Chain A
Amino acid sequence: MTGLLEIRGARRSFATPEGGRIAALDGVDLDVGANEFVTLLGPSGCGKTTLLRSISGFEALDAGVIRLDGRDIGALPPFRRPVNTVFQSYALFGHMSVARNVGYALEVGGVARAERERAVAEALDKVGLAGFGARRPSQLSGGQRQRVALARAIIGRPRILLLDEPLSALDRNLRQQMQLELKTLQHNLGIAFVFVTHDQEEALTMSDRIVVMRAGRIEQQGSPRDIFRHPRTRFVAEFIGETNLFDVTVDRIEGEVAIGRTAEGLELRLPGAGLTVGRRATAVLRPADFRLAEAGLPVTITRSVYLGQDLNLFAAPAPGGPEIRVTARDAADAPEVGARVHLAYDAAAVHLLEGA
């Protein structure tokens, strides 16, 4: 990975109304490669926006360095940073036409009018808004405004494009469409995107790398598959997708497989490597990891939620303990509520949280 952006030990705290201080960034190290799509994912208030604003220059760090192409940019004002932002509220200039909004970076940069108009037409074309230049932002739909904001931010060819929850105001269909378009656009432009969201689905579909944040720190980062399949902590496991977590103590080892037992006496087969009898561990099983079968965990179906192609089943384990969520195909032989079935799963696919 060629390091484009390098953040080391970023710290930023704010005074709270109660008189205390809250650490919005509590020692963040982050690298972004050229042409990489990095997503900052985390619950509201975990510091995503603060991190983004410290890259764009609107927030000064209390400590830490930000380097771009190896150059410390911490002291540069926002208008000197080769970084552009798509704001959550779009922040379009209402008194200007769409074309002038899009060409703003070139206008203030002193680019000649003819060249500017050509670039504006090209940028509008890229976001599918060719011919909308003469309109006012107020004459556009939410999705179109979003695209104008995007065109405006990319026209100056920034090294990094920052996007702060840009899709949160759009309806579901439009959001999914924009997710694909953004990904394509990023690929075509060949610039790095740092994308902020609190929506794990969005993060999984778009990112080269997901950075999961929690209370001002980076909890885990990795590829979407890595984050989804191998969460390191309970927080990440629960934040990314639906999860079943089982706190077990290893009861015995049977060859390749270790048998873990929950407090209620439910027995789970785990990958045996590295486990010893008596070890405590937390097993992660996604709803789709289970199959309905003749043998396996004995459960009773308590609820069934119809999702179209799939069913979301809630199953109470026979020995007791929290309900297990299972995704099953909606077929004629799908179990009814009250049915006693068995859940099978592949022991090797069970993921164990570290240091649980």
Chain B
Amino acid sequence: MARRRDRLVLAALLTPVTLFLGVFFLVPLLTIAVFSFLTPGLYGGVEWAFYHWNYGRIFGWADGIMEVFEPVYLRILGRSLSFAAVTVLLCLILCYPVAFWVSRLPERWRLVFLFLITLPFFSSLIVRLYAWLLILKPSGLLNEMLLGIGLIGAPLEILYTPTAVVLGMVYVMIPFMFLPLFAAVDNLDRSLIEASYDLGATRFQTFRKVILPQTLPGIVGGSVIVFIPSVGNFIVPDVLGGAKGLMAGNLVEQQFLSARNWPFGAALSMLIMSVVLIVLVTFVTRLRPKEG
């Protein structure tokens, strides 16, 4: 009796969430999936007729008249994936040691630090990226400083290069990496580390056999949260990347906003989504701690 009432209460509580996700998540997703198989309308929009050349353009079959196969799409997708991977790696390298440092701070300073790391969320992403533009441009802050102390003879060409894109993405993504990492590191039971030392493990062995596996959930979580939006990000390459820094997200953006080829944009979106999904599933299942 009581259990049935519990179930009713649970259902009542979950219904709004389910409806919300159904309407605002699943419906758009399905729309994109369906659009990707429809014929592009002449002036934007779609015509309701099945059309597989959207994918043909990407993967290599095309009628050669209306649609032409161009390997550039796959190349850009590959570049997006590697940029995202580099971003994940850099965020990880930057955040992991800092997470340990912060977790050892006295309570008050920890709060201050955690507040600082979330501070960027209080201002617009675009504004912050334009600030980076001012820093990186040939006559910008960075070059002025390096020139000033005589480290370089001529201004560095960083802006509108892949370096600038990765730099900007790392900057944007750091809080998303740091927070799950910090949670995992902060939860780490100190007595496990002591037990490892006590049993004769060196610092390095302790790190590899105890600390790393124990914080792995945070590493995986942070990496996933950083990787997904990084692959599809189009704002950072828009502002800092120039033509050479074009990423998969920009392609989608162009198809929907400039070229007004919605089905092709939808096909590109579906491609990005499936590739990200495949990469993540492989990554997460591979990293599941192996047990001997």
B209 touches A108 (CB 8 A): yes
Task: Mark interface residues in B187-207 (1 if CB within 8 Å of A CB, else 0).
Answer: 001011011111111100100
Query: Do B198 and A85 touch across chains, with their CB atoms under 8 A apart?
Result: yes
Q: Which of chain A's residues has its CB closest to B189's CB?
A: A91
- CA of A58 to CA of B193, assembled, Å: 11
Name B248-292 residues within 8 Å CB distance of A. 289, 291-292
Determine the chain A residues whose CB is within 8 A of the CB of B214 once the complex forms.
93-95
Chain A CB within 8 A of B213 CB: yes
Chain B residues close to A by CB (< 8 Å): 189, 191-192, 194-202, 205, 209-210, 213-214, 216, 289, 291-292
B198: chain A residues within 8 A (beta carbon): 56, 58, 78-79, 83-85, 153
Residue from B197, B289, B291 with most neighbouring chain A CB atoms (10 Å)? B197
Q: Which A residues touch B189, using CB under 8 A?
A: 89, 91
Scan A196-239; emit 1 where CB is below 8 A from any B CB, else 0: 00000000000000000000000000000000000000000000
Interface residue tally for chain A (C-beta within 8 Å): 28
Chain B nearest Cβ from A196, distance in angstroms: 15
Q: Does A100 contact B (CB under 8 A)?
A: yes
Which DSSP category, helix, strand, loop or mixed, fits chain B's interface?
helix
Complex: A12 Cα to B268 Cα, angstroms: 66
Any B CB within 8 A of the CB of A345: no
Given A89-B189, A100-B291, 14 additional A-B pairs, CB 8 A: A58-B198, A79-B199, A79-B202, A83-B198, A85-B195, A91-B189, A91-B192, A92-B195, A94-B214, A95-B289, A152-B199, A153-B198, A153-B199, A156-B200
- On whether A108 and B201 interact (CB within 8 A), knowing A95-B289, A100-B292, the answer reads yes
Which residue of A is nearest B202, CB measured? A79
Once A93-B210, A108-B209 are accepted as A-B contacts, the answer to whether A87 and B199 lie under 8 Å apart by CB is no
Cβ 8 A contact of B291, one of A79, A87, A96, A109: A96
* C-alpha spacing A346/B199, complex, angstroms: 52
Q: A104 contacts B199, CB within 8 Å?
A: yes
Q: Is the CB of B201 within 8 A of A79?
A: yes
A sample of 23 inter-chain contacts (CB < 8 A) reads A56-B198, A58-B198, A77-B197, A79-B199, A79-B202, A83-B198, A85-B195, A87-B194, A87-B195, A91-B189, A91-B192, A91-B194, A92-B195, A95-B291, A96-B291, A97-B291, A104-B196, A104-B201, A108-B196, A108-B201, A108-B205, A108-B209, A156-B200
Given A95-B289, A108-B205, the answer on whether A78 and B192 have CB atoms closer than 8 Å is no
A123 at the interface (CB under 8 A from B): no
Nearest CB of chain B from residue A111's CB, rounded to whole Å: 11
The smallest C-beta distance from A155 to any residue of chain B, in angstroms, reads: 9
Q: Is the CB of B194 within 8 A of A78?
A: yes
Q: Given A89-B191, A91-B191, are A78 and B197 neighbors across the interface (CB < 8 Å)?
A: yes
Interchain nearest-CB distance for A117 vs B (Å):
11
Instruction: Decide if A108 touches B199 in the complex (CB within 8 Å).
Output: yes
How many angstroms between the C-alpha atoms of A93 and B194 in the bound complex?
Answer: 11
Give the contacting residue for B199; candidates A57, A77, A95, A105; CB below 8 A: A105
A109 to B198 alpha-carbon distance, docked (Å): 12
Taken together as a complex, chains A and B put the C-alpha atoms of A107 and B194 apart, in Å, by 16
A109: contacting residue among B200, B210, B292, CB under 8 A? B200
Cβ of A84 and Cβ of B191 under 8 Å apart? no
Interface mask (A101-133 → B, CB under 8 Å = 1, otherwise 0): 000110111000000000000000000000000
A79 and B213 form a contact (CB under 8 A): no
The answer on a CB contact under 8 Å between B194 and A58 is yes
Taking CB atoms, residues of chain B closer than 8 Å to A100 are 291-292
Residues of the A chain whose Cβ atoms lie less than 8 Å from the Cβ of B196: 93, 104, 108
- B194 and A79: CB pair below 8 A? no
Chain B residue with the shortest CB-CB distance to A88:
B191
A60 to chain B, nearest CB (A): 14
- Per the bound structure, the CA–CA distance linking A57 and B195 in Å amounts to 12
Closest A residue to B195 by beta carbon equals A91
Bound complex: CA A107 to CA B199 (Å) = 10
A91 CA to B189 CA in the complex, in Å? 8
Q: Which residue of B lies closest to A83 (CB)?
A: B198
Residue among B202, B209, B213 having the largest count of chain A Cβ atoms under 10 Å? B209
Point out which of A56, A93, A96, A153 has the most chain B C-beta atoms below 10 A from its C-beta. A93
Shortest C-beta distance, B62 to chain A (Å), equals: 50
Residues on B with C-beta less than 8 A from A97 are: 291-292
**What is the CB-to-nearest-CB distance from A190 to chain B, in angstroms, rounded to a whole number?**
20
Cα distance, A224 to B214, chains bound together (Å): 43
Give the residue name and chain of the B residue nearest to A89 (CB): B191
Complex Cα–Cα for A58 and B195 (A): 10
For A105, list chain B residues within 8 Å (CB).
199-200
From B200, B209, B210, A79 is in contact (CB under 8 Å) with B200
Residues of A within 8 A of B292 (CB): 97, 100
Q: In the complex the two chains form, what is the Cα distance from A251 to B201 in whole Å?
A: 66
**Shortest Cβ distance from A45 into chain B, in angstroms?**
19
Interface-central residue, B195, B197, B198, B202, by most chain A CB under 10 Å: B198
CA distance A79 to B292 in the complex (A): 23
Q: A77-B197, A79-B197, A87-B191 are in contact. Are A95 and B202 (CB under 8 A)?
A: no
Interface residues in A144-174 (C-beta closer than 8 Å to B): 152-153, 156
Q: Which residues 68-88 of A sit at the B interface, judged by CB distance below 8 A?
A: 77-80, 83-85, 87
B residues within 8 A CB of A153? 198-199
Taking the nearest CB of chain B, how far is it from the CB of A106, in angstroms?
A: 9
Q: Closest Cβ of chain A: how far from B124's Cβ, in Å?
A: 41
Contact with B along A168-198 (1 / 0, CB 8 A): 0000000000000000000000000000000
Instruction: Check if A84 sits within 8 Å of B194, measured CB to CB.
Output: no
CB neighbours (8 Å) of B197 from chain A are 57-58, 77-79
- Contact status B201-A93, CB under 8 Å: no
Q: Nearest-CB distance from B12 to chain A (Å)?
A: 34
* A108–B195 touching, CB < 8 Å: no
Tell me, in angstroms, the Cα distance from A110 to B243 when the chains sit together: 54
Contacts of B209 in A (CB 8 A): 93, 104, 107-108
